[in-house]
Structure 1
Amino acid sequence: MNKTTTATNNTCEHILDVGEKLILNLGFTAMGLNELLATAGVPKGSFYHYFKSKEKFGEALLNRYFSDYVITSKERFADPNKTQRQHLLDYFSLWMTQSCQAACHSKCLMVKLAGEVSDLSEVMREALDHGVTRVIAQLRSSIEAGVEEGSLAIDETPELLADSIYSLWLGAALRAKVSRSDAPFISAMQRTERLLKPIA
């Protein structure tokens, strides 16, 4: 990779990094393009070199977010010293811990943008839907592996259980955001432990 390519990639990633931080604090609609450019310290021409519009920027940001999220989660689920049930419970425990460290004010791009942009941008809605589908598929694979290794006993199909648990936690994240309380996460964790039953 030559220096020009490296600089180009760095500029693009820098704009995405700054934009993600602003959106998590302000929301997508409230984040003005001028504010993004000023904070990132890049000219408008640089932005439009990488993104045709603010909407396309949002799509790229979501695609990057979910790709990084899935890769990181895959690494966590790969520890051979833990059962898949332990991996799943650790995954949701980390979700709760990270959210509550932020005073239950969501730092998850999915939670932040789902309600805001789904009715405003079909492109971003599709990016969200595709990303969530990837996350649920990862949970399903872990549940399937847990059943196969004998660490999990489940009462429904892995597909349905993965979808149900993710929806449970998405709802908990939204409730925690509204109530500024960790109670919805605690309730979701207790329910998850019951759904992901250990082999008796």
Structure 2
Amino acid sequence: MAHVSGNTDTRQGILDTAHRIVGAKGFSGVGLNEILAAAGVPKGSFYHYFGSKEAFGEALLTGYFEDYLADIDATLAEPGLSEAERLMNYWRKWQATQGSIDYQRKCLAVKLAAEVSDLSEPMRLALKAGTAGIIDRVARAIEAGAGDGSLRVEGTPREVAETLYHLWLGASLMAKIERTDAPFEAAMAATRRILNLQPA
């Protein structure tokens, strides 16, 4: 019998492998056998770690957002910068990861939102909670930036954060369709206008 830590490591290994594969192919386009083979886990053991493919998808999204939110927290707490500079660094990192062909770092919210929201209520709720966490953090940064004078917005920080998140989500989808960085460049310019920042 495997130790609990071994079980935890194997479960996390499956999720890490799945993030890379699902990031490239989507959720429905990937069979469990492909993920298990890539993770080096026997085919018959999947249900030892996850109750169903849906539960696995929920765990995949929950873990993804835990890591993503920790990264945002680090970016928005970077010392020696104004709140506006920290926020713009966050959008630059978004563009760098979403514009890259490195699927391992692709945003699962962008990749899976349209695909799974109608298929799985638990996965939709995991997406909803994760994206709400992102918007909350952006709203707090906007509020702090208005306080330190590094940016200025019309509307509440929450409204502006939601608008910016929707803008960047749309830009990510359009960049996939167009296969250019032009949607990100337009989103960056619009973000600077919305935050009343000077051109870079």
TM-score interval (norm. to shorter): over 0.9
Give, as a single letter, the amino acid of the residue that structure 2 aligns with 1:14: G
Q: Is the 8 A contact 1:103 1:180 kept in 2?
A: no
**Equivalences for 1:41-120 in 2 at 5 Å?**
41-102=40-101, 107-120=106-119
Give distance in 2, aligned partners of 1:103 and 1:31: 18
Matched, 1:13 2:12: yes
Give structure 2 stretches of 5+ with no counterpart: none
Equivalent residue for 2:148?
149
The C-alpha deviation readout for 1:24-68, integer Å capped at 9, x for no partner, is 111100101111122212124432122100110000000001111
Matched, 1:171 2:153: no
The C-alpha deviation readout for 1:77-129, integer Å capped at 9, x for no partner, is 1123001100111110111122223289x821111100111111111111101
Please give the TM-score of this superposition, normalised by the length of structure 2. Answer: 0.93
Equivalent residue for 1:125?
124
Equivalent residue for 1:33?
32
Give distance in 1, aligned partners of 2:124 and 2:100: 28
- Residue 198 of structure 1, CA deviation: 4.2
Give, as a single letter, the amino acid of the residue that structure 2 aligns with 1:151: S
Q: Is the 8 A contact 1:18 1:36 kept in 2?
A: yes
Equivalent residue for 2:192?
193
Give distance in 1, aligned partners of 2:146 and 2:173: 30
Q: How many residue pairs were aligned?
A: 196
Give, as a single letter, the amino acid of the residue that structure 2 aligns with 1:101: S
- Give me the identity figure in percent: 46
3-state DSSP class of the match of 1:101?
A: coil
Q: Is the 8 A contact 2:37 2:43 kept in 1?
A: no
The C-alpha deviation readout for 1:117-170, integer Å capped at 9, x for no partner, is 111111111110111001000100111111112212111100100000000000
Give, as a single letter, the amino acid of the residue that structure 2 aligns with 1:110: A
Give distance in 2, aligned partners of 1:36 and 1:115: 22
Give structure 1 stretches of 5+ with no counterpart: none
RMSD: 1.8
Give distance in 2, aligned partners of 1:173 and 1:103: 14
Give, as a single letter, the amino acid of the residue that structure 2 aligns with 1:89: M
Q: Is the 8 A contact 1:154 1:197 kept in 2?
A: yes
